[in-house]
Amino acid sequence: MITRLDPIRIFRIALLGFIIALGFMSASAQSGNRVVVLEIDDTITPAMASYVKHGISEAERKGADAIVLRIDTPGGLSTAMDDIVSAVVASDVPVIAWVGPSNARAASAGVYITYSAHIAAMAPNTNIGSASPVSSDGSDMTDTMEAKVTNDAVARIRNLAELRDRNEEWAIKAVREADNITATEALNLGVIDLIAPNIPTLLNDIDGMTVTLDNGEQVVLSTAGASTENVSMNAFERFLQLISNPTIAYLLLSFGSLGIFLELSNPGSFIPGIIGVVCFILGFYGLGTLPVNWTGVGLIGLAFALFFIDLFVSSYGLLLVWRHDLLCSRQLHADR
């Protein structure tokens, strides 16, 4: 006797099998360990700090098992460094600082960031140190100011050394004497926890280590064979990082001065004045004088000023275009 299969029943069985397979695939994907990698591969600026903070927040939101900060930096602004250190210390996800790849360095502010991480590592042929504070424009500080800044920097690095149980004596030497050491020396001195040539090796080597988070929770790392996800700067952060270069920042201030001078020399042309004000705002941001939010406030204020000017002046649409572009930046700044 031949039994005829109902096509609808076959479809239901196939659909059920497909749903079960998807469930197994989803469970497998969720059970796999994930590590977020952030790249600190340039000067430490407010844009870099914003990137690291939102990268850590994203890792926390995704439930990542660990965060790797790949460090290769000459240093940067102490205020931006403080923001990064605070974000690392307060992270709900274990943070591993890795100075790499070969020939990379963690200089100046990079020392503080490395010390702040739950686990510190370096690749072979890398170096760390030279954490002495200097003025932003490279000029000499008075004796009183130098002592004040240096003592503050020493206190901060000592706190991090005590927090992570790392070599406090060398940390002070790196600040007071600008001492710089290799990866092998750093390991022998207890400045770092291990040497790893690449991130996969690093993740295998730290597997099973226990770290203590800021909330007191102890976490046993499970990173062997973990998948990595690189979180990069977005286009706006890359732009802010670009203008944070001191040379470009000073050029923006120069263009700002020139634009305002041309506006005062030829009243009513508007365009040189608008360009000058925007260059001034971006230049001050680039030098670290203005944080991101205040830069956004300045641009939004300029946009509203153009709105009122446009009510009384025939600009043939030029002011309208400028006002639209400036207001479009509002959300970008608000997100940070």
Q: Which residues contact 275 (CB under 8 A, 6 or more apart)?
A: 255, 256, 259
Q: Is the peptide bond before 200 cis (omega within 30 degrees of 0)?
A: no
More confident position, 186 or 282: 186
Percent of the chain surpassing pLDDT 90:
53
Task: Give me the mean pLDDT over the 146-165 stretch.
Answer: 95
Report the pLDDT value the prediction gives residue 194, as an integer from 0 to 100. 98
Q: Over the stretch 284-306, which tens digit does the pLDDT of each residue have?
A: 777 765 454 555 555 555 555 65
**Backbone phi and psi for residue 196, each to the nearest 5 degrees, phi listed first:** -140, 130
Q: How confident is the model at residue 250 (pLDDT cuts 50, 70, 90)?
A: confident
**Confidence at residue 318, expressed as pLDDT on a 0 to 100 scale:** 47
Q: How confident is the model at residue 164 (pLDDT cuts 50, 70, 90)?
A: very high
Per-residue pLDDT tens over the stretch 78-124: 989 999 999 999 999 999 999 999 999 999 999 999 999 999 999 99
Question: DSSP string covering 87-120, please?
Answer: HHHT-SS-EEEEE-STT-EEETHHHHHHHHSSEE
**Distance separating alpha carbons of residues 170 and 111, to the nearest angstrom:** 11
| Residue 233, pLDDT score | 93
The string of pLDDT tens digits covering residues 126-151 is 999 999 988 765 566 788 888 999 99
Positive/negative CA dihedral, 310, 253, 242, 301:
negative
130 vs 117: CA distance, rounded Å? 18
- The angle at the Cα of 63, spanning 57 to 68, to the nearest 5 degrees, equals 65
The per-residue pLDDT for range 49-74, each reduced to its tens digit, is 999 999 999 999 999 999 999 999 99
3 state SS of 131: coil
Q: Residue 26: pLDDT above 50?
A: no
Q: 55 Cβ partners below 8 Å, 6+ apart?
A: 36, 38, 67, 231
What is this structure's pTM?
0.74
Which pair of structure tokens corresponds to residue 288?
A: 């670290």
How high is the pLDDT of residue 314?
53
Provide the mean pLDDT of the chain.
82
pLDDT at 14 over 70: no
DSSP symbol at 298? H
What's the pLDDT score for residue 277? 80
> Average pLDDT of 5-32?
54
Using DSSP, state whether 223 is helix, strand or coil.
coil
Q: What is the pLDDT of residue 242?
A: 87
